[in-house]
Amino acid sequence: MTRGATPALLLALMVLSTALVRAADDPLATATKLYDKRRYEQAARLLEEALPRLDETKRAQALLVLGTIYLRAADLHQAFARTAGVTEIDYLDKLAKTGIEGRSRYVRLYLAEALLARGDTTEAGRYFDQLRADVGVDAAYLALAQVG
């Protein structure tokens, strides 16, 4: 190499390394990558911690990305809740319909409450009525069935 090429090469390497360091220090870019990988909690935490240090332009972008992350995480949690609710009702319904002696008589209460939470008032009412008709139910659970 010639002497003139060495300083130019050093300058190019310094510019490249500075750009790489800046990209690594950019919480917005890092959070966006985490978001793309569906690591919502990590991305949100990163942006929340970085917000006070960002300038106004970056802060506005970070808030937009943070809002998107929160929305996506909420959608995910809502989907999990719906799936869990359906699974819970299905499981409790199977328990309530089994003729096995010794099963919990309170399964009808839990099933009625789950159905009521889902908005199925007619079906929930049927299970509340069954529980109120059961003579072996404790008074506290009978009161819950009355309220239901």
Distance CA(88)–CA(81), nearest Å, equals 10
Distance CA(81)–CA(100), nearest Å, equals 29
Please state, as a whole number, how many other Cβ atoms lie within 10 Å of the Cβ of residue 29: 13
Whether the per-residue pLDDT at 50 is higher than 70: the answer is: yes
At 99 the pLDDT is: 66
> For the chain, what's the residue count?
148
Whether the per-residue pLDDT at 138 is higher than 80: the answer is: no
Mean pLDDT, residues 64-70: 92
What confidence tens digit (pLDDT) does each residue in 89-115 have? Answer: 888 888 877 766 556 778 888 888 888
At 20 the pLDDT is: 45
What confidence tens digit (pLDDT) does each residue in 20-49 have? Answer: 444 457 899 999 999 999 899 999 999 999
Helix (H) and strand (E) counts in the chain: 7, 0
What confidence tens digit (pLDDT) does each residue in 73-89 have? Answer: 898 888 888 888 888 88
DSSP 23: H
At 47 the pLDDT is: 93
Mean pLDDT, residues 10-18: 55
More confident residue, 143 or 17: 143
DSSP track, 44-62: HHHHHHHGGGS-HHHHHHH
Distance CA(111)–CA(123), nearest Å, equals 9
**What predicted TM-score, i.e. pTM, was given to this entire model?**
0.51
Q: By CB neighbour count within 10 A (0-12 exposed, 13-18 middle, 19+ buried), where does 114 fall? A: buried
**Mean pLDDT estimate for the chain:** 80
